Structure formats: C-alpha cells, structure tokens
Amino acid sequence: GIQVEQSPPDLILQEGANSTLRCNFSDSVNNLQWFHQNPWGQLINLFYIPSGTKQNGRLSATTVATERYSLLYISSSQTTDSGVYFCAVERGRGSTLGRLYFGRGTQLTVWP
C-alpha cells in the first residue's frame, strides 16, 4: 500500500509561535485530508486538499501533488491547538477503493 510519513513526530511550542507540519506520500493520490485529534480523541476535519492551497483562519494547507507532499501551517498557535495532527491519503482505485491511509501523526503541545 501507499506509505505516508509525517514529520516531525513531536512538536512543542509556546503560545503565539508558528509551525509547519509535513506529510510525504509515496504514490499519486485522489484525496488528501488533514485531521486534528483533540485530547478527547475526536477526529476533526481540518482540510480536504488533494492539491493547491487552502486557508481557514490561523490554519492553512498546501499540497504539491506532483512532488507528493503536503504542508500544514499553524500560525499564532494557541493551547487549544494541542493534540495530534494526522495526514491521510486515498488512492481511489482497485480493491482499496475509498480507503484512507494514515500517517502516524504529529503530536503538538502548545504551552501558555
């Protein structure tokens, strides 16, 4: 199956700092999503971004599909941004139709 690698595995920031999370994937994809898993375990959809750039408040994401990577930018981080950020991709063909392949996530801790 497709390999999804996220970096860094852990990130510790002071409130107000900016950060960039990276997701590399090993094959072409139809779908790429970023999720935030909050401390209660809920998976929250951040972006659906198979290509291009999107922004939502302090968060933005860019996917360069031809180079097989995506970046998630968090600006002016807040303590509520803490949690695990997952990148997940879908190839959308054959027997794995619709399946999301997840990376292992980036654990973000924001201190006040």
Residues contributing to the site for another protein (CB under 8 A): 1, 4, 30-31, 33, 35, 41-43, 45, 48, 50, 86, 88, 90, 92, 95, 97-100, 102-105
Beta strand 10-14 pairing with 59-64: unpaired
Contact between 77 and 15 (Cβ < 8 Å): yes
- Closer Cβ to another protein, 51 or 78, answer by number: 51
- Closer Cβ to another protein, 13 or 87, answer by number: 87
- Closer Cβ to another protein, 5 or 60, answer by number: 5
How distant, in Å, are the alpha carbons of 37, 57, 76 from that of 100?
16, 26, 30
* Residue 88 beta carbon to another protein: minimum distance, rounded to whole angstroms: 7
- Closer Cβ to another protein, 2 or 17, answer by number: 2
* Residue 91 beta carbon to another protein: minimum distance, rounded to whole angstroms: 9
User: From CA 34, how far away is CA 85, in angstroms rounded?
Assistant: 7
- Give the residue among 94, 96, 48 at the shortest CA–CA distance from 70: 48
